Each structure stands twice: as structure tokens, then as C-alpha cells.
Amino acid sequence: EPEVTQTPSHQVTQMGQEVILRCVPISNHLYFYWYRQILGQKVEFLVSFYNNEISEKSEIFDDQFSVERPDGSNFTLKIRSTKLEDSAMYFCASRQIGSYNEQFFGPGTRLTVL
Amino acid sequence: AQKITQTQPGMFVQEKEAVTLDCTYDTSDQSYGLFWYKQPSSGEMIFLIYQGSYDEQNATEGRYSLNFQKARKSANLVISASQLGDSAMYFCAPNGGATNKLIFGTGTLLAVQP
């Protein structure tokens, strides 16, 4: 069964460093999302991506964040200068076109900023 | 902005009994979908069940069913014949916005006791 994959599973970085989180969505899906979950809190929407551009973003998704789909299969989230409060689980999700299709989540990347 | 309320931070249920997890939401959208996800202690997000706002029948998926009351804006998840493996965090998540992003509630932690 196709699945969303994410790498790495755990990333530890120093404050101020850049990180890139990688995702491979399901191949016939057209909408891609990033969410984050700070430990013990609810899952929060960051950004959605469709047709090679950002289609919606939350107020969390500030200038420190960027996304791209560099090669038609990978979908990346970059944080330019990490802060302590960026420590969280980051989930990638994808879905088929059509409003009522469920989003399939990847296993997540746990980011720890020291 | 949508507000999702899951009033039960934690629930206990005996194995083989049924349990209802509450969810109410506040949306001005006429057409939307309601999703429930399970997050076990391992952290992944697992899709359980979906209800469309225009669906006349309550959704069912194996041991999962939704008690959907559109006028009250509630979509409670019913798990029948609870199993030990059902112990997890459960999130209610309507979709919304231009890209049908998921908007998560705070979750209910379910513990199934033998």
C-alpha cells in the first residue's frame, strides 16, 4: 500500500542552524501539507502546496520557513534559522484532488533544537 | 477561524465496551468534511473515518462510527468493542479553508483497560 515517507525520523540541531525536512508524498497525490505538533499539544497546520506553489499558509509559517518540490517526488520544508520553539514533530501529508479525500500522513520528523 | 472542541482530555473504557469521544466544531462553511485520526504512543497519525457535511447517513468504518449532528455541529466518534490496541490519542479534524487543510482539536487520550 502506498505511503508517505519522511526523513530523517529525528533531527537534532543547534539554535540558528538551517534544517531541511524531507517528505515523499504518495505518487498520484496533488495536494501536500506540512503540520507540526509541539510535544503534548495539538497538531497545527503550517502550509499547503499545490501545482508547485504555496496555496495557503498559517501565521506560524513566517519568513523563516519555506517549502519546495525540487524534483517532482520530494517535498521539503526548510527552516532557515531554527529557534528553540521550533522543536516539535513535523508531519507531511498528501491527498488526492477532491475536497473529501483524506490526508495521508507520514510518520513525522522529530526536530529538537538545542 | 474554526474552533474545534474536544471536551474530554482523557477517557477510560473497559475492554470490549463501547466508548464515545465528543467533538464539536464551529464553522461558517456550508460544505466541509469531518475526519477522525488516531495517534498511538508511537506518534504516527492514522486516518480512521470521514463524514461529509452533506452525507445523510452517519459514517461507519468497521468498529468506528460517527454520530453526526449537523445542526448541533457535533461529530462524536463511537468505538464499539474496545480493544487494548485502541489506547491512543484521538483527534477530531474538520477541513476548511481554500485547500481543505485539517484543523485539529486538542484531542482525547483514550485508555482501554483489560
Is pLDDT at A99 greater than 70 in this prediction? no
Q: What is the per-residue pLDDT for B68?
A: 94
A38 vs A41, A59, A73, A83, B15, CA distance in Å? Answer: 5, 16, 27, 13, 31
Which chain A residues are closer than 8 Å to B35 by Cβ? 102-103
Q: Is the peptide bond prior to A8 cis by the omega test (within 30 degrees of 0)?
A: yes
Count A/B contacts: CB-CB distance under 8 Å: 60
Percent pLDDT > 70 in chain B is 99
Percent pLDDT > 70 in chain A is 98
Which chain A residues are closer than 8 Å to B44 by Cβ? 105, 107-108
Q: By the 8 A CB rule, do B76 and B36 touch?
A: no
Query: What confidence category does residue B1 fall into, taking pLDDT thresholds of 50, 70 and 90?
Result: low
Q: Is A95 helix (H, G, I), strand (E, B) or coil?
A: strand
pLDDT tens profile B61-98: 999 999 999 999 999 999 999 999 999 999 999 988 77
Q: Closest Cα of chain A to B106: distance in Å?
A: 5
Are B33 and A48 an interchain contact pair (Cβ–Cβ within 8 Å)? no
Report residue A50 CA to chain centroid gap.
14
**Higher-confidence residue: A1 or B86?**
B86
Strand B19-21, strand B88-96: pairing: unpaired
Q: What is the DSSP string of A18-59?
A: -EEEEEE--TT--EEEEEEE-TTS-EEEEEEEETTEEEEE-T
pLDDT tens profile A28-56: 899 999 999 999 899 999 999 999 999 99
Overall average pLDDT of the A98-113 stretch:
89
